[in-house]
Amino acid sequence: MRLSIVVPVLDEEAVLGATLAAARAGLDRHDELIVVDGGSADRTADVARAGGAELIAGDRGRGRQMNAGAARARGDLLLFLHADTLLPAGFRADLERLVADGGIRWGRFDLEFDEGGPLLRLIARLISGRSRIFRSATGDQAMFVRRDEFEAEGGYREALLFEDVDLARRLRARGRMGIPAGRVVTSARRWRRRGVWATTFRMWTLKSLYLAGVPGERLAKFYRDER
């Protein structure tokens, strides 16, 4: 297995270094770590280079950036990682074990937050549990997919919102979802900025509207500052 990790970024100098260090620690020498910069105005590019990543430029927009990284990647397994999410120790061995099962075509990690107390621990469990029940995923959960499946589905639809949910909905028709043993640790910064209850209500309401058929373009203006 050759693994390619794709990290879309925009002004992420504060968190990117730790993310790349955790990813790099688990990779084999034939694997890849690709950062796709959507036009950062801070030192994100310098942090990416210092972290040993291949840095490429992409048109701004998470779906566009991840597609650009996938097009550059040479691995047969693609993993899409948010700039504020840390992969667990041993993640590569877990992934290799999962993809050895030919029926597993894609997957994602369970998650926990880097801080926040009992309420955010509960929310993390609910997110992970909901993903298991509905065979779904969000970008915070470090989605991974076999390259042939990703290409067969045409990659991410470069919408303004919920490109990760959309891809998971398409992939679950193609094969089983794998869930590694370890958990990713993602930043609680969105919850800190707006408050736990307000952020949870806002995000779950928007996602429910999207799943009910409201176009992402109509919802994007309510979500812009969360990206």
Q: pLDDT digit string (tens) for 91-104?
A: 999 999 999 988 89
Is residue 91 a part of any domain in this protein? yes
Instruction: Give me the number of domains the chain comprises.
Output: 1
Report DSSP letters for 52-102, one per residue. T-EEEE--SSHHHHHHHHHHH---SEEEE--TTEEPPTTHHHHHHHHHTST
Say what the pLDDT of residue 19 is.
Answer: 98
CATH number for the domain harbouring residue 123 = 3.90.550.10
Mean of pLDDT values over 16-27: 98
Return mean pLDDT, the chain: 89
Model pLDDT for residues 35-91, shown as the tens digit of each residue: 999 999 999 999 999 999 999 999 999 999 999 999 999 999 999 999 999 999 999
**Binning pLDDT at 50, 70 and 90, where does residue 162 land?**
confident
Q: At residue 139, does pLDDT exceed 50?
A: yes
Q: At residue 142, does pLDDT exceed 90?
A: yes
**Binning pLDDT at 50, 70 and 90, where does residue 215 land?**
low
**Binning pLDDT at 50, 70 and 90, where does residue 222 land?**
low
Local structure of residue 43 (DSSP, 8 states) = S
**Binning pLDDT at 50, 70 and 90, where does residue 209 land?**
low
Is residue 134 a part of any domain in this protein? yes
Say what the pLDDT of residue 161 is.
Answer: 74
The boundaries of the domain holding residue 88 are 3-194
Is residue 168 a part of any domain in this protein? yes
Say what the pLDDT of residue 130 is.
Answer: 87
The sheet carrying 104-107 orders its strands as 54-57, 32-37, 3-9, 77-80, 144-146, 104-107, 176-178
Rounded to whole angstroms, the Cα distance separating 227 from 220 reads 10
CA distances from 161 to 20, 30, 226, 227 (A): 25, 33, 11, 9
Is residue 215 a part of any domain in this protein? no
Say what the pLDDT of residue 226 is.
Answer: 45
Helices 163-171 and 62-72, axial angle in degrees (round to 10): 50
CA 44 to chain centre: 18
Say what the pLDDT of residue 117 is.
Answer: 84
Is residue 131 a part of any domain in this protein? yes
Is residue 218 a part of any domain in this protein? no
Q: Residue type at 166?
A: D
Mean of pLDDT values over 201-210: 67
Mean of pLDDT values over 99-117: 91
Reduce the DSSP state of residue 16 to 3 states and report it. Answer: helix
